Amino acid sequence: MKPLIQKLTETFSPSGYETAIREVIRREVEPLADDLRVDALGNLIVRKGPSTGSGTAKGGKRIMLAAHMDEIGLIATHIDENGFVRFTGIGGIRPHALTGGRVRFVNGTAGVIGVERLTDPSKAPTLEQCFIDVGASSPKDCPVKVGDVCGFDRPFLDLGRRLVAKAMDDRIGCAVLIETLRALKSTPHELYFVFTTQEEVGLRGAHTAAFGVEPEIGLSVDVTGTGDTPKGSRMAVSLGKGPAVKVKDSGMLSDPRVVAWMCASAEKARLPYQREVLEGGTTDAMAMQVSRAGVPVGCLSIPSRYIHSPSEMVDYEDVQNAVKLLTALVSKPVEW
């Protein structure tokens, strides 16, 4: 999977600009799909299995599997008299992770993020104190204009078992869906592998996709934080101990039946897994859960360090086990 993960993470596609990553994913999944379409919001929707609503076998369901294609980014708000670009975030930006980072704009312009001199070095800078230096000396020779969008410019790093890249959130989820689609031999379900848009700015793609798919069960595949770094969060999730079954996050309570189904499937397949409670953040599962008349949902999480930074880290075995668990889940009937 490593070449696929590198290809996905190094593709530049912030929220609202998902065309490039959608084309990369489309080339991977088109030969595997029974049906494929792109909706009005840019979601890539891939159907696999019977198209008869609730499947052809006992326990067959219409299941939506969602991973978002977009990544966080920055958007220019002002060019000052010396050619420095001021900006705000597209999605959740952490100013303390920006200083010295390199970015690339949609038009190809590269730059480095700087910060004003801090009067109190003990405090992290705010976004208002950050700027992008593209080598310009005035607004006239600055190749960036107000409204131009950029993203982190950082190469994929293979540390063996640990993988580092910008946009692991959530290209790693996209990789898991692609590899599950490849591994799937048969299914009693009508499966919709949905690569969603604009998750980082409000789960927008998942809202519209779920309305169109009308799933009976929804599963998102996304990253989650860990509690395994020095003085890190008090969280019972670590890299290398398996994918996590989400019980709760700040926007969603997983359906207990879905949690039990996921845990039992992992145990039956003898796959390592963790149970997750995330106190901040949510996923596309929240949007699916409240679509139309409501959907029972859950989330398969990939433990990740340094989320929403230019260097997000995952464990390769966790990723591989996520593919195995998701394949096991959708290969057999659901019996609640």
Contact 278, 246 (CB under 8 A): yes
Query: Is 216 marked active-site?
Result: no
CA distance readout (Å), 275 to 255, 301, 304: 14, 9, 14
* Beta strands 297-305 and 130-133, pairing class: unpaired
CA distance 124 to 95: 7
- Beta partners for residue 162, in sequence order: 315
In the chain, where do the E strands start and end? 35-38, 44-48, 62-68, 73-79, 85-90, 102-105, 110-115, 130-133, 149-152, 157-158, 162-165, 190-196, 217-224, 244-248, 274-277, 297-305, 312-315
Q: What are phi and psi of 289, to 5 degrees?
A: -60, -35
Catalytic residue among 179, 190, 199, 200: 199
Q: Which amino acid is at 13?
A: S
**Active site residues per annotation:** 199
